Structures are given as structure tokens and as C-alpha cells.
Amino acid sequence: MFVLTQFNSASLNKHIKNTFNFDMFSHGFVDILAAEQTPTSDKWFQGTADAVRQSMHHLNNHDHDYVLILSGDQLYQMNFEDLAKYHIKQKADLTIATIPVIDRDAPGFGIMKVNEKGFIENFVEKPPLETLGEWQSAVPEAYAKDGKLYLASMGIYLFKRKFLKKLFDDNPEATDFGKEIIPHAIEQGYKVASYSFDDYWTDIGTIRSFFEANIALTDDIPKFDLFNSTKQIYTRPRLLGPSKIFGTWFNKSVIAEGCIILAKKMERCIVGIRSRIGEGTEISNAIVMGNDRYESLDEIEANATRKRPNLGIGNNCHIRNAIIDKDVRMGNNVSIHGSVALQDVEEPTHCIRDGIIVIKKGAVLPDGMKIGLGA
């Protein structure tokens, strides 16, 4: 597995390095391929196709028949073996994973016109509502009843190795799969199949979608279920102690290990590792990323002398509709209230996007600071 990265990827690189370690008896690997200058190109990745094209010389060092290309800003659980079996059964040159959507959502996607044999005949990127009637596909009756008559690209592609090389050779200037490479393959009459996926999938490429997908994990039985024994989600073990909670009222919250929580109330919250939350604090509809380390008692005493907040969230704070990134130092009596009524802003300590207030990593918020409604 290769992970192609470009901007601000240090945190991701660190996570991958520390998480995916294979023993000497395994041939598996997860390697990071950052944009790099080469004898043939001195540019950053210009798009999805360009990123793969520039990385092909790394893939060629490994024996393979197919190339599976995935997007990094989506959340779903798919058995890629089923996708591969379908691709082989269809004898396709390229298979695109698609998901049925209603007319209201269709203009936000690349929409496929799929025939009854499962092959894509036409493709349009983000069609306007008035032309949607031309883009209905043959879908199972259950989808048709719900009005899901349009098959949207999920940005998941399975190529025959030789076919991918041919597409790059035929389109040396193309930089994007969805806008250039795939339409070319369909127009030229190649066998491009649609693999219809009918489970949970969401794009988390914006602050709002990332926020909503995480908060949805607090539902009784979330669509993306972390507690499904047949579709387990693994992460890097930190080997931390259990979380400690003192008198806090919780409702629909997910709490990671190593936290020390004295808050008054927490509702619909995602609480990350090593989070420290002070007495009297109330948090709702929020993601608290936690901390990368614990402060020692000496550091805490030094903070008091310097009048600097400790790592974590102080006493008597009120936080709503917000994301608190890692290693934030939040003083006492801080108020953070996100709302769709707020305008997008960019400040040294925080930003607001689509009504969600994001406190930046390592930000220091003094006592009594107010952000958002009521500020």
C-alpha cells in the first residue's frame, strides 16, 4: 500500500510510521510517497491522476496485476476483495465503485449512466438539476422506491495494470481521473464497469462533513459502527491507562483512553486520548482531540507561575458545535459557541467554517475568552 501525500502531511506521516509496522516474515507494507522532484517533473502533484502517474515507478518495483486507487477523504467500510472479484467477473478494464443517490444530491458528484449489464455508457461531472432526467440508470427496485435513480462515483477505481499505463500514455497531460482519464476511457469504448455499493459512505473533505461524521458515531447504532465484530476498525495502541471520570453527566459520548475528566456535563461528544477537562465545564456537539502528552506536576506548577493554562480544557468552560484540536491550552470560563449564523473567519487561535469553530492545534486561550455567538 502506498499513501500519496502533498501538503501539511507531517502528522499523517508520523501516524502511518508509528501504526503500520510489519514483522520480517511479512511482505506487506504501507509506504508514504510524497510529491518529489524527478528528472521528468519538478512540479507538485497536479491532481489525482498526476499523483499516480508520478508514482508509477514505485509501483513497478512490485509484481501486480491490478491497481486499486482510493480517496483519502472518505469514510466507509468496503470489502475490496468483493470489488476485485466483480471486476474480474466483468472482464473489465476499469471498475468504478458507485453509490446510488437522489436527485438533490446528484449535482455534487460525477454521475454515471450504467446499462443493465453493469457497464458505464456515459459520465458527467456534477450535472445541473435541469439535466438530471437524462442520467437515470437501471437500479434495483429498492433504490428506485427511494428515488435513488442516479449512480455517483465514489472516487474508488480498480484498473488493470496494463490498462492504467495505456491511459497515461494516451493522455500525457491529463491530471485528474474524474474529469479527464475516466471520461476518455468511456468515450473510447473500453470496458468500464460500475460496482454498486449499498452500505454507509460519506465524504469528509470539509470541516462540516468531518464534524458530522464524527458526531454521528455517538448515535445508539451509528451507520459507521465501531462495535461491529465482523468489520473491525483498528488503530495504533498507545497502551495508556483507562480514563478517570469524576462526577460528570454523560450522554451519547465516545471516550478514548487516558483521559481525566471532571466536567459537569458532556453530551454528543467525541473525546480523544489524554484529554483533560476541568470542573464545571459543559460540552455538547463537540470533538475534543486530546493531547499528545501529559504535563508533569512540575510543569503544571510552572504554568501557574507563568499564568499559562495547562494542557487541556479549564474549569467552567462552555463549548458547543466545535472541534478542539490537540494540545490546546484553554483557560477557565472560556465560551465557544458555533452556529450556522457565524461567518467564516481565520484567526491565529481558531477558524470558523460552516458554523463549526475549530480551535487550532497548540492554541492558547486565556481565561474568559469568548468565541462565536455571544462573543
Is residue 220's pLDDT more than 70? yes
Packing angle of the helix pair 48-59, 161-170 (nearest 10 deg): 130
Please state, as a whole number, how many other Cβ atoms lie within 10 Å of the Cβ of residue 86: 18
pTM recorded for the entire structure: 0.87
Q: Give the three-class secondary structure for 49.
A: helix
Mean pLDDT of the chain: 91
The pLDDT score that the predictor gives to residue 253 is 97
Is residue 52's pLDDT more than 90? no
CA dist 358 and 349 (Å) reads 9
The pLDDT score that the predictor gives to residue 138 is 80
The pLDDT score that the predictor gives to residue 15 is 86
CA dist 256 and 325 (Å) reads 15
The pLDDT score that the predictor gives to residue 25 is 85
DSSP codes of every residue in 280-321: T-EEEEEEE---SSPPPHHHHHHHHHHT-PPSEE-TT-EEEE
CA dist 317 and 52 (Å) reads 46
Between 44 and 189, the higher pLDDT residue = 189
Nearest to 51 by CA among 176, 148, 160: 176
Report the helix count and the strand count for the chain, using DSSP H and E: 8, 26
Alpha-carbon distances, residue 305 vs 39, 278, 310, 330, 364 (angstroms): 55, 19, 11, 16, 16
Most confident of 95-109, 138-152, 248-262: 248-262
For residue 152, give the H/E element and its range: strand 150-160
Compute φ and ψ for 198, nearest 5 degrees.
-120, 25
Banded model confidence at residue 37, pLDDT cuts 50, 70, 90: low
What average pLDDT does range 310-326 have in this prediction? 97
What average pLDDT does range 156-180 have in this prediction? 91
What average pLDDT does range 55-77 have in this prediction? 89
The pLDDT score that the predictor gives to residue 247 is 95
What average pLDDT does range 76-102 have in this prediction? 94
The pLDDT score that the predictor gives to residue 285 is 98
What average pLDDT does range 170-194 have in this prediction? 90
Banded model confidence at residue 165, pLDDT cuts 50, 70, 90: very high
Structural domains in the chain, sorted by start: 2-203 (3.90.550.10), 209-372 (2.160.10.10)
What average pLDDT does range 199-206 have in this prediction? 88
Banded model confidence at residue 179, pLDDT cuts 50, 70, 90: confident
Between 214 and 134, the higher pLDDT residue = 214
Is residue 38's pLDDT more than 70? no
The owner of cell 504501507 is: 30
Contact 56, 168 (CB under 8 A): yes
The pLDDT score that the predictor gives to residue 349 is 97
The pLDDT score that the predictor gives to residue 40 is 65
Banded model confidence at residue 21, pLDDT cuts 50, 70, 90: confident
Length of the chain: 375
Please state, as a whole number, how many other Cβ atoms lie within 10 Å of the Cβ of residue 310: 17
Is residue 8's pLDDT more than 80? no
